[in-house]
């Protein structure tokens, strides 16, 4: 049953257009040495990348909300801004360490 489910899922990838264009996916896959002619597999990887970026953005947003909860501004004056501190904290949860260069 798992094989049939995977086959059905890959068949759905034929009609799915991920947010990341196929040309961008092809460029980075070729740059990393990945060689595959199956567009469905490439779109599956693009979908996984899209999910990864969305999870990081959601976590960074949560860090921003926590950081801004200390500020006592009214609801209309408050803007959500993605800062490097929020992004760095979110990325660190996924094992990606971001450090500013010394000249900043």
CA dihedral defined by 47, 49, 53, 58, rounded to 10 degrees? 50
**Lowest mean pLDDT, pick from 2-6, 22-26, 42-46, 97-101:** 2-6
pLDDT at 90 over 90: yes
The overall average pLDDT reported for the chain is 85
Residue 100 in this model has a pLDDT that exceeds 60? yes
User: 3-state SS of the chain: helix, strand, coil percent to 5?
Assistant: 60, 0, 40
Q: What is the pLDDT of residues 25-42, one digit of tens each?
A: 999 999 999 998 988 889
Task: Answer whether 68's CB lies under 8 Å from 80's CB.
Answer: yes
Is 56 in contact with 27 (CB distance < 8 Å)? no
More confident residue, 3 or 101: 101
Q: Alpha-carbon distance 75 to 77, whole Å?
A: 6
In this prediction the pTM is 0.76
pLDDT tens digits, residue range 42-70?
A: 999 999 999 999 999 999 999 988 888 87
The band of 3, judged by pLDDT with boundaries at 50, 70 and 90, is low
């Amino acid at each position: 049953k798992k094989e049939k489910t995977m086959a059905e899922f890959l068949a759905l990838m034929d009609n799915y257009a991920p947010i990341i264009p196929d040309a961008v996916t092809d460029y980075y896959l070729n740059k990393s040495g990945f060689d595959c002619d199956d567009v469905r597999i490439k779109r599956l990887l693009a979908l996984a990348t899209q999910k990864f970026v969305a999870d990081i953005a959601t976590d960074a947003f949560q860090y921003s909300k926590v950081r801004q909860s200390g500020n006592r501004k009214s609801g209309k004056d408050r803007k959500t801004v993605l800062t490097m501190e929020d992004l760095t904290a979110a990325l660190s949860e996924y094992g990606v360490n971001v450090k500013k260069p010394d000249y900043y």
